[in-house]
Chain A
Amino acid sequence: MLKVPYVTNYLTEHFADDSFATVAGYVARGGYAAARKAITQMSPDEIIGTLKGSGLQGRGGAGFNAGLKWSFMPKQTDLPKFLVCNADESEPGSFKDRILIERGPHQLIEGLLIGAWATGSEKTFIYIRGEYAYPAECMQAAIDEAYQKGYLGKDVMGTGFSHDVVVQRGAGAYICGEETGLLESLEGKRGQPRKKPPFPAQYGAFGMPSTVNNVETFSHVPHIIGKGADWFRQFGTEKSPGTTIFGVSGHVVRPGLFELPLGTKLEEIIFEHARGVPGGRKVKGVIPGGVSMPILPAGMLDVPMANEFLRERKTMLGTGGIVVMDETTCMVRVACVISYFFRDESCGQCTQCREGTGWMNKIVERIERGAGSEEDIEVLGDIAGKVEGATICAFADAASWPIQGLLRHFRSDFEQHVKLGKCPFPESFEL
C-alpha cells in the first residue's frame, strides 16, 4: 500500500484515516452531500455551468476544461449514455490516481454520480490498469458497499436517480489510457485509438455517447459542486484553478505525493516538500508531468506548475508526475529509457509512431553505446519532428516531446557521447 500524501488538501485530507474508504467514514466527513444536492437541487445545466465556471482542467494530462467536455454530451438522444473513468494510470512518473482509488474511492464514486446526473449517463465504466490489482480490489469493495447502502444502483439515496458502476481491468497497455484506445479495449478489442471525429461524446463506449475523465478529475467534482466554483478558484492560478496531487520521484530525499495548488513553483515542490536532492548533489533536469512531457533544465525550476507557465517553457503539466534527476544523470540514458518505453507501448497502427518510436530508440541506444555520430543526433531530432502531430492519437507526440526536450536542453550530453565514443557519465543510473 502507498503512503498517503505528505502534503494534503481537500482531496486527500482524510486519506490517513482508513474509515474514509468506507461509506460510513465518508458520509461522516460530509461525503455524498454534494451528490444529493446535485441530484435533488441542481439541473444538469447548472452543474455543468458550475463546473465550467470552476475552470477545472482534466487531470489526465491534456488539461481540457472538464465542464466543457461534459457539455458535449448530446441532450436529445434515445441512446444510452455512459461515463468512463480513466483509471489506466500508466504514465511513468505518475502514481496519484492509485491513492485516490485506494484511500478515497467514495469521493470518486460521488464524482461519478454527479457526472452521471449532469450528463444523463446510466452507467460508468471504471477502466483500471491491469497492474493495479489492489486498487481494483479497493474500488470494487467500495462500489459493492455503495450498492449495499443505496449510493449506487436503483434509486440512489432515495432520489429516484439510478446509476451503475462497473470496474473493468485492463491488460497492461499504456495506450489503453488514451481515451479512445481505452474505449476499444473496454469493448474487448485490440487497444488502438480511434480516429477523431467522431469524439466519444458522439460515439464512445460501445458506440454510445460517452464522457471519459480521469480519476482525479472526477474526484474534484464533489468539492466543486459542494462548495462552489468560487471556493474552488481560491486554489491554484487564474487559468489553472484547484489543487493537484504531484507525484515526485527520482533523486529526492522524500519522494511521494503532495497535494498542492496548481501554480506552486517547481523548486518549492522539489526542495521544500520533497526535501531536495540527496547527498547535496545538484539537480540536472526535471520532468514536470510524466515522462511524455519535455524535460526542464535546472535553470528553469522557478516555473509555476501550471500549464500557462509550463507552455512558455515548451512543456506541460501532464499528469503532475515529477521526475527529478541529479547531476550524475546521463541524459542519453534517460532518452534510452523513455524511447524504449514508447517503442514498447506504441500500438503500431500509424506509420510514423510505429516506425519512428523504434528508430528513435535504436539511435539513442547506439549513441549511448558510443557508436553514434553527429548525423545521428540530427536524424534523431528530425524523426522526432516528423513523428509529432501526424498520427491518429497523441501518443506519437508523447514519444516525440521527451526526445525533443532532451535535445533542446541537453544536446551536449549527446555530443559528448559521440565525441568520446562512450558514455561520459560513469555514475549515472544503469540501463
Chain B
Amino acid sequence: MMTTATLVTHQTTGVPTNWYLALSGVLFLLGLLGVLTRRNPLMLLLAVELMLNSANIALVGFSRYWNVSDGQVFALVVMVVAAAEVVIGLGLIVAVYRQRLALDVDALSRLKG
C-alpha cells in the first residue's frame, strides 16, 4: 500500500522547514571539517557521527514537510547503518592499536595506489 504524499497547508508561525535545513547544513559542514582536519581515527568517527545526525535532521524535516512517516523510517535505518559503521570502525582502530602502529590516518597509507 503506498500512501501518496500530498503537500499540506502551511502556517506562518512555528519553525519553518528551511531553518531545519540550515541547521542540518551547518552540522554537516562541522562534521566535514572534522573529517578533513583531524588525524586521530577516533575523532574521525566522532565527526562522521555528527554528519550522519545532520542528515537525519534533514530527513525528519522533510518527513514533516510532506506529512508522511517515510523520512523518519529512513532516519531509523540510517541509525542502524551508523551503529554498524561504529562497530567496524572501532574494531579496525583496536586492531591497528594492537599491531602497535601509530593511530594516525595519514600514516596508515600502505593501501594508497
Chains A and B come from one and the same complex: no
Residues of A within 8 A of B (CB): none
Residues of B within 8 A of A (CB): none
